[in-house]
A and B are shown apart, each in its own frame.
Chain A
Amino acid sequence: NPAPRGPRASGGHHDLVQRSLVLFSVGVVLALVLNLLQIQRNVTLFPDEVIATIFSSAWWVPPCCGTAAAVVGLLYPCIDSHLGEPHKFKREWASVMRCIAVFVGINHASAKLDFANNVQLSLTLAALSLGLWWTFDRSRSGLGLGITIAFLATLITQFLVYNGVYQYTSPDFLYIRSWLPCIFFSGGVTVGNIGRQLAMGVPEKPHSD
């Protein structure tokens, strides 16, 4: 969509770098925090020496997540503009924050709640992720992109676990936990939400916390 980007065409490149940096840091922070949640419950097992490090997670996880977040967060507004249907639903930072909070809540639930079985857990999380999308996104492009991301990310993690980089306790969906796609989906939606908000370039752009 050229309309919002038009007046800022001169600083477009600079803006892109800034946005990707913000998205990258958001991804890193979220990865660290969510990893802590998972590790508390021994959902994810990293090799022993990794546990001993400060963030109790492999060094490569946060950068990967950051990069992924940057890519997804840039991809969303890009696809929006290509499809020619700018995202207008609840475009405000409060909504974005709410979205992030719900995303963290979903992760929290996946890590901390005791479910009767994995199917129930996965179904609940799937419902929650869809609810997240419906509450904060409601766009076809967002849904499509989220599903694509979830699919790709699941493939990648299957590949990683297959090669023994790390592993999940009690895997029930090939090598991973069946709720992982849901997490990826809601993560994609959340990061996309942030990316869109950043891309809107609201006149009163908040300083990132």
Chain B
Amino acid sequence: MTLTERLREKISQAFYSHGLLCASYPVPIVLFTGLCILACCYPLLKLPLPGTGPVEFATPVKDYAPPPADPDHRPGEPSERPEWYVGAPVAYIQQIFVKTSVSPWHKNLLAVDVFRSPLARAFQLVEEIRNHVLRDSSGTRSLEEVCLQVTDLLPGLRKLRNLLPEHGCLLLSPGNFWQNDRERFHADPDIIGTIHQHEPKTLQTSATLKDLLFGVPGKYSGVSLYRKRRMVSYTITLVFQRYHAKFLGSLRARLMLLHPSPNCSLRAESLVHVHFKEEIGIAELIPLVTTYIILFAYIYFSTRKIDMVKSKWGLALAAVVTVLSSLLMSVGLCTLFGLTPTLNGGEIFPYLVVVIGFENVLVLTKSVVSTPVDLEVKLRIAQGLSSESWSIMKNMATELGIILIGYFTLVPAIQEFCLFAVVGLVSDFFLQMLFFTTVLSIDIRRMELADLNKRLPPEACLPPAKPVGRPARYERQLAARPSTPHTITLQPSSFRNLRLPKRLRVVYFLARTRLAQRLIMAGTVVWIGILVYTDPAGLRTYLAAQVTEQSPLGEGPLASMPVPSGVLPASHPDPAFSIFPPDAPRLPENQTLPGQQPEPVGPGESIQDGPVPEVTWGPEDEELWRELSFRHWPTLFSYYNVTLAKRYISLLPVIPVTLRLNPREALEGRHPQDGRSAWSPRGPAPPGLREAAGPLGPGGAPVPGDVTLYKVPAWAPSADGSIWSLELQGGLFVVGRSSGRLEVWDAIEGELCCSSEVSSSGITALVFLDKRVVAARLNGSLDFFSLETQALFSPLQFRGTPGRGSSPSSLQSGSDTVACRLTHTVPCAHQKPITALKAAAGRLVTGSQDHTLRVFRLEDSCCLFTLQGHSGAITSVYVDQTMVLASGGQDGAICLWDMLTGSRVSHMFAHRGDVTSLTCTASCVISSGLDDLISIWDRSTGIKLYSIQQDLGCGASLGVISDNLLVTGGQGCVSFWDLNYGDLLQTVYLGKNSEAQPARQILVLDNAAIVCNFGSELSLVYVPSVLEKLD
């Protein structure tokens, strides 16, 4: 017992001196403790916030394989893998991050143009992805095989039924807003309205539909009318079931090839696995809330025992702060020493508080306040501390003992809990001794000061007008504690007047000026303003409409045609050259070509408005999904009744896709309501164009010998719109204008036979076969006309006749005898402008910028097939009587199709860059591309036989004279090749000083004559010798 007593004495002495210290230097000690708390809590910054936040783990992409489902836990070996990283993830998520911008930007473009055509590209991209097929030695693999197939949406999500995919691949893109239907998109006058129709009006933290489909946070998408930075970004989100490295690699390579991002520095090195915690349901919430209620009851009942001090609330707060910060310190220290908390912090927190408890604090307070009042504050604190020192130490030892027992249960969770509790207890003791004791001493000192005040004559500091309620309260206070000797009842009003005049003055000032009310009022007004502004049906749309109307597009920034004056459009060997107002099909690659003309600019549009937004890729783009709500993926999966709770998903490195659109494309994608006058005729065309129109007509005319130029006077006033397409047969030629007007001219007489104005959409391509004329319009529609003449003119007769075969006598010319009649209309043959149009064997083939080809029956305009296989706009189409169809696209690929069945026969990657022209002989396919190569392919096998390197800029012109003879254009010359062997037979120079002029276009006539267009001349070359030799 002597030992115990000695120990007891020692402890009490230590406490006494400690109490003296604390009471002597209260402020430094409180500051020191505060610093300690902050230092210990510092490691907490690295911890994820407690709750249901997801946890991440990254693995390198290289050699990635899903972790085994059953990990062999070797207890001795610490693994850096988190525990949840077992088995395959729920899904692999591949985001294809698209950044697009319209550049250069013209001041005449509307705000809507910033995002309309960029969004339209999403459809194309989705198609490219959907059509992606991996071919390797193990066979082919398509997206459908590897993607995550989803079934029904949850029944409660009826309104999202059209917007989210069902029964198929989980592939999300902004196109889902329009059911992945390009037509709907093009017909949608209010894109922003459509996007925002499902947005909640109120503040919401969870993922909205817009976020889900765009895959980027709202502020990054750039789909807004008021964005200074004219860049639109969105993602196409693909969800895969399995990890198929080859498929993913090929998809990535293909997309990056098709849409290269030049200054992209994304590393794409790691897969990020995100593990989602269990979601707290109501069943778990109720016990949790109960424990917290109990905790608060405990705190309440504990702190209400603090009595006889100056500020009850202050001390109660100090007690709570002591316990809470000791817990925080405990967690912080444990983290510092390498223990990561695995328990749910929110759940064990109340228990920890209860275990640590407020007992010591209460005991301390009680013992200090029960010391004699007349002692000095220092001594009171010291005495109070030392008298309770033994019980405090005993208590603490007991609790430590109990917790130690808990540690030996060898249950990991309990052990962790005990560890936290032990560290918490120790730090709690530390804080009690330093922080709470000091606060207590300050409090006691204040009370003494108050005591002094009380001895002053009370009326000296009483306010003149005494409130009525005051005496009553005073009495009640007296009555409440009549017997306690230490109760100090003071007059609060007088005390405060003396002590806190400054604070009061501030309060009075606030009260006088009603600052708080005014602030609240201003805040409310701002809030209401924001509400009104963000309301989809409200002010914003009105403003948007205003902005749209104001923009002056009628001045015609793009009135001029992109055709250089005096020359035929390059790279179209056939007479039915069609001039596309936008040279969209060859956009990004084209710009890199040397010698490429810059975008033709009208007089008024050379001033660009604002800087061109350069599409840049930085490291921040690598993990943009982090900016999304952490509920993003769980929300998406929950729509399909898939829970991510306690499971994980793997996010594949994002695929960057850069799309640059030129203003023309932006204009072309416009909805009529966006800017009505976008493509309407706008005044006289530039003079160069009119001159160009002259030689155009005879350029294709089978007039050997002298070239007759017909200047057609009626063409001069081009109020009807400029000529976009022209087709010729016999003595008639058909002209399609930008105004949508179709005109039939007599080539011999130079008279307008008839015209038709069915639609105002410009005619981009024409086919004139027998008596039929098919016009493809800018809006993607097809019009079938038939030419009614009294006597048939026979093309066969014309063909067989050399020289002036198309004698006027064979054709009943005269304006009254030819009439064109609209027989059929296909309103929306394609969702984008038709770029290629060919007809043969009773079939009409259209190729469009929407990557598809369509086959129509010529007589009744019935669509037979839609051919999908290209991943770029179609640039050229060849079709012949044997029902073989060849198509070349912007993707550099050539597809051969069987027109009878609509199936793809073969698919060749032919060129780097666009395929510019395409023709076939009986045995081979000849293609030319932007890479200045002419490639010859075997028609049946699709194997490349050989290729011919052409001079720069003239690779596009080629013609086939017979099955064995190929003619290509060169710099001021034409070359003849033997197709069987690839030998150069002869080169014919066309002029003396024409070295600089490439032969842009070659037209092979039936009588072995070649019409070449080079420079500003037309040359006619007869090749009888070659023919004889070959025969």
Contacts and interface: CB of A to CB of B under 8 A. Distances in A.
A101 interface: yes
Contact of B409 (A29, A40, A124): A124
Contact of B287 (A56, A92, A108, A115): A108
B410 A56 contact: no
B410 A120 contact: yes
Interface in A72-122: 92-94, 96-98, 100-102, 104-105, 108-109, 112-116, 120
Interface in B263-310: 283-284, 286-287, 290-291, 293-295, 297-298, 301-302, 305
B414 A109 contact: yes
A58 interface: no
Given A102-B354, A105-B354, A97 B405 contact: no
A32 B290 CA distance: 11
Contacts of B298: 94, 97-98, 101
A123 B362 CA distance: 34
Given A101-B295, A104-B291, A124-B409, A36 B301 contact: no
A149 interface: no
A183 to B, nearest CB: 14
A100 B411 contact: no
A40 B351 contact: no
A93 B301 contact: yes
Contacts of B302: 94
B712 to A, nearest CB: 84
Contacts, number: 81
B85 interface: no
B26 interface: no
B301 A94 contact: yes
A56 B283 contact: yes
A96 B301 CA distance: 9
Contact of A209 (B291, B297, B405): B297
A39 interface: yes
A37 B283 CA distance: 7
Contact of B413 (A33, A113, A123): A113
A33 B290 contact: yes
B350 interface: yes
Given A120-B409, A124-B411, A101 B287 contact: no
B515 to A, nearest CB: 38
* Interface size range of chain B in the complex: 20 to 34
Given A97-B294, A98-B357, A113-B413, A37 B287 contact: yes
A206 interface: yes
From DSSP, what is the main secondary structure of chain B's interface residues? helix
A131 interface: yes
From DSSP, what is the main secondary structure of chain A's interface residues? helix
A189 B354 CA distance: 17
Contact of B305 (A94, A116, A128): A94
B277 to A, nearest CB: 14
Nearest to B352: A105
Contact of A113 (B286, B358, B411): B411
Nearest to A34: B287
A127 interface: yes
A142 to B, nearest CB: 18
Interface string B313-356: 00000000000000000000000000000000001001100100
Contacts of A34: 287
B402 interface: yes
* Interface size range of chain A in the complex: 35 or more
A37 B298 CA distance: 22
Contact of B284 (A40, A100, A102): A40
B405 A127 contact: yes
A36 B357 contact: no
Contact of A94 (B358, B413, B414): B358
Nearest to A206: B301
Nearest to A128: B406
A185 B886 CA distance: 86
Contacts of A39: 283
A126 B405 CA distance: 12
A36 B297 contact: no
B797 to A, nearest CB: 86
Contacts of A56: 283
Contacts of B351: 101-102, 105, 108
A37 B351 CA distance: 16
B280 to A, nearest CB: 11
Contacts of A92: 301, 305
Contacts of B294: 97, 100-101, 104
Interface in A22-79: 29, 32-34, 36-37, 39-40, 56
A23 to B, nearest CB: 16
A113 B409 CA distance: 12
B400 to A, nearest CB: 13
Contacts of A96: 301
Interface in A113-160: 113-116, 120, 123-124, 127-128, 131, 135
A115 B297 contact: no
Nearest to B398: A135
B979 to A, nearest CB: 77
Interface string B390-430: 00000000000010011001110110000000000000000
A33 B297 CA distance: 17
B279 to A, nearest CB: 12
Residue among B287, B301, B347, B358 with the highest chain A CB neighbour number at 10 A:
B287
A88 B350 CA distance: 26
A98 B409 contact: no
B409 A101 contact: no
A127 B411 CA distance: 13
Nearest to B291: A104
Interface of A: 29, 32-34, 36-37, 39-40, 56, 92-94, 96-98, 100-102, 104-105, 108-109, 112-116, 120, 123-124, 127-128, 131, 135, 206, 209
24 contacts: A33-B287, A33-B290, A92-B301, A92-B305, A93-B297, A94-B301, A94-B305, A94-B358, A97-B294, A98-B298, A104-B287, A104-B290, A105-B291, A108-B347, A108-B351, A109-B413, A113-B413, A114-B411, A116-B411, A120-B409, A124-B414, A131-B405, A206-B301, A209-B297
